Amino acid sequence: MNDNLNNKNLAENIKQWGLDLGFDAVGISNIDFDHQKDLYQDWLSQGYQGEMQYLERHKNIKFDPKKLLDGAQSIISVRLDYLPLEKNTLDAIKQKDRAYIARYTLGRDYHKVLRNKLKQFVKKLESELQPREIKARVFTDSAPVLEVEAAKKSGLGWRGKHTLLLNKDHGSWFFLGEIYINQKLHEDKQDSDHCGTCSACIDICPTGAILGPYKLDARKCISYLTIEHKTSIPVEYRKKIGNRIYGCDDCQIICPWNKYAKLAREKDFHVKNNLDQISLIDCFELNEEQFKSLFQGSAIYRIGHEQWLRNVAVALGNAPKSEHVINVLKSRLESASDLLKEHILWAIEQHN
Ligand code: B12
Ligand code: SF4
């Protein structure tokens, strides 16, 4: 009984240290994910992962946390809110001459922000838990970790039908991160599902990527098509992409639970360079140097200039018809790679 109590107190202290470091929530779970294995394998068998072959390659590591940290016994999951803007409606997607960039990437690259914070958390654990020998490893979207499942098990929320983690008081506009640790810690209780009969996220998805509750065909998701998919964007999705040039938020914008989401406290996630207002033409006119300098320290940097232009070309094809847009598109034709040229020609065709 006393051991139990001590363990519970220790877990409470750990969670408080995480909150003191600026995380918005902290929860603890064990490392057993066997219940998800078949679902995950079924998903892969359908080919829903598209070009993200790492999801297949690393699947065994994903289900065995000890492969990432020898001696792992518990997972500490963290939530960090990123919502940078008060007004999150579908209006921004209707302004077809402006670019829509997913809300999670209007500020600094979250990988860097979360990693730094998680490392500080580990330092705190090492110093507070002495003389125990602490072995720990931090992750955020950087390794084969079942992040949503770990967070769900640790009581940070439930999985929405769009597959993201949702929280009753904070919606879903947040990142997840984890610490694998070689200590057996007191586990939190899982939250129950509060989606009920709502299917707003499934209905709103412009490309029908959410095939049914908890089942996403990534190959159709605009987030995948604009970020992870490196080759030609299938023509059938180009019109549906609208002005979304990096990521997509429709399934989160429409979710009723997101009316409870709070603005990010983390300043690094606030809008930089007016990216929420930028015009498609300004995006297309960036040369490689300007692209690199504008997106230094942002997750957008990683897609590179060519893929950026590919995405903007598609959005310009969906912009209101104008001679100016056609001229701007044509101005890049000569120097464009085959991949880009094909998207530019498609875009010009939409204006004729
Ligand atoms: C690959 C990936 C993507 C892919 C695929 C997304 C997906 N839903 O699978 C793409 C590129 C499309 C994507 C998009 C986005 N992503 Co992403 N992505 C990931 C990543 C790296 C891996 C997810 C994964 O393994 N997918 C494969 C599927 C099979 O795994 P799964 O979702 O866990 O699938 C389970 C369920 O579907 C369940 N299941 C299947 N059938 C059934 C049936 C029933 C009845 C039940 C109960 C369960 C169930 O079983 C599966 C196995 O576990 C994670 C980080 C990580 N390491 O976890 C971030 C992550 C999920 N993404 C994140 C974000 C923010 C996004 C975007 C919002 C970004 C944007 N604005 O554009 C969009 C949202 C799109 C969406 N609706 O999912 C965040 C989500 C935070 C949160 N609140 O949950 C994560 C956790 C990154 C992070 N560290 O914060 N992403
Ligand atoms: S992010 Fe957009 S495209 Fe992807 S599932 Fe959600 S609504 Fe559909």
Transcribe 98-125 into DSSP letters: B-EE-GGGSSS-HHHHHHHHHHHHHHHH
Global pTM reads 0.96
Q: Are residues 226 and 173 in the same domain?
A: no
Does the annotation mark 141 as catalytic?
yes
Residue located nearest, by CA, to atom 8 of ligand 2: 205
What is the torsional sign of CA 246, 53, 165, 19?
A: negative
Question: Strand 244-246 vs strand 100-101: parallel, antiparallel, or unpaired?
Answer: parallel
Residue 206 CA, ligand 2 centroid: distance in Å: 7
Report yes or no on 25 lying in a domain.
yes
Q: Which of 64, 97, 141, 276 is catalytic?
A: 141
Residue located nearest, by CA, to atom 81 of ligand 1: 175
Q: Are residues 166 and 283 in the same domain?
A: no
Question: Which structural domain range is residue 16 located in?
Answer: 2-83+108-181
To which H or E segment does residue 333 belong?
none
Q: Are residues 137 and 235 in the same domain?
A: no
User: What is the number of alpha carbons within 13 Å of residue 64 lying toward its C-beta?
Assistant: 7
Please name which ligand lies nearest the alpha carbon of 220: 2
pLDDT (0 to 100) of residue 87: 76
Nearest in space to 204 (alpha carbons), one of 311, 98, 93: 93
Q: Are residues 151 and 249 in the same domain?
A: no
CA dihedral 116, 78, 263, 168 (to 10 degrees): 170
Q: Are residues 240 and 269 in the same domain?
A: yes
**pLDDT tens sequence across 127-160:** 999 989 999 999 999 899 999 999 999 999 999 9
Q: Is the CB of 216 under 6 A from ligand 1?
A: yes
Structure tokens, 108: 């600094």
| Cβ atoms 135, 71 nearer than 8 A | yes
Report yes or no on 92 lying in a domain.
no
Q: Are residues 252 and 159 in the same domain?
A: no
Q: Is the CB of 143 under 6 A from ligand 1?
A: no
Structure tokens, 319: 């912009």
pLDDT (0 to 100) of residue 1: 42
Q: What is the pLDDT along the chain (352 residues), one digit of tens a residue?
A: 456 657 889 999 999 999 999 999 999 999 999 999 999 999 999 999 999 999 999 999 999 999 999 999 999 999 999 999 987 778 889 999 999 999 999 999 999 999 999 999 999 999 999 989 999 999 999 899 999 999 999 999 999 999 999 999 999 999 999 999 999 999 999 999 999 999 999 999 999 999 999 999 999 999 999 999 999 999 999 999 999 999 999 999 999 999 999 999 999 999 999 999 999 999 999 999 999 999 999 999 999 999 999 999 999 999 999 999 999 999 999 999 999 999 999 999 999 8
How many domains does one find in the chain? 2
Q: Are residues 8 and 41 in the same domain?
A: yes
